[in-house]
Amino acid sequence: MNYENLLIAIENKIALVTLNRPAKLNALNKNTLAELHAAFTDLESNEAVQVIILTGSGEKAFVAGADIAEFANFSTQEGTQLAADGHQKVFDHIENLKKPVIAAVNGFALGGGLELAMACHFRVASENAKMGLPEVTLGLIPGYGGTQRLPQLVGKGRAMEMILTATMITATEAKEYGLVNHVVPQTELIEFCQGLAQKISTNAPVAITQAIQAVNASFDKTQNGYQQEINAFGRLFGTADFKEGTTAFLEKRKANFSGK
């Protein structure tokens, strides 16, 4: 599929998805959100892909926010639908994807951009990255999961401060807060993320999926995370990957997982 606002490259079981609206600092508009949904749906079912890296084009921004001009005149009903659609089709969709998604945050990740990064399974930032949720300066609050995911990642107090003051934080502060896992020079960002993705791709795909679902269950009030872990652990004993992994360990060789 050809995308207007995304670039997709697949190599060595790793898909690199690049938001490509540099003139708009990769701001999220309706079309971009629709393309993200389509792209992640396709990549999830693509057997040639085991890990996904999400980044933004150019050196200035991962995603500088939502395209404000597109919703400036929305009604209450339209605003509610905007948030609901975004949650379902993109942000929750990415968070619950069966394959790991790494956010490579290059430059500004503001508003919907930071929310997009937080929906990914973990984040790596370039040294020039700056992150924040400035929605209250527009008379809004974060509408794509920011009020929920940010406290989970950095704690209630820091999340409250970031949201209520609308202050941007640096990459160093983001790492100190636990918002990002690593900070690297911008020229090394994608290569570093590819290294992490390569490590993941050598592990059992079925187990990776079950691990994602078990960890996510701990943040879902409708689920018992411990029971999810127990059930997933048991199910994995019936997989070909478990048999291959244990056999390879006992035979002192590298496992060759089939993803089944």
Alpha-carbon distances of 148 from 79, 142, 209, 232, rounded to whole Å:
18, 9, 23, 25
Which is catalytic among the residues 115, 161, 191, 251?
115
Cα end-to-end distance, the chain, whole Å:
27
Q: What are phi and psi of 29, to 5 degrees?
A: -110, 180
CB atoms within 10 A of CB 168: 18
Is residue 161 among the annotated active site residues?
Answer: no
Q: Please, which residues have CB within 8 angstroms of residue 112's CB and are 6 or more apart in sequence?
A: 27, 28, 63, 65, 66, 86, 143, 144
Selected catalytic residue, list 35, 95, 135, 173: 135
Angle between helices 146-154 and 156-165 (to 10 degrees): 130
The answer to whether the CB of 204 falls within 8 A of the CB of 242 is: yes
Per the DSSP assignment, residues forming a β-bridge with 130 are 108, 170
Report CA-CA distances (Å) from 209 to 38, 89, 90, 148.
20, 19, 18, 23
Judge whether 115 counts as a catalytic residue: yes
CA distance 188 to 139: 37
Residues forming the active site:
115, 135
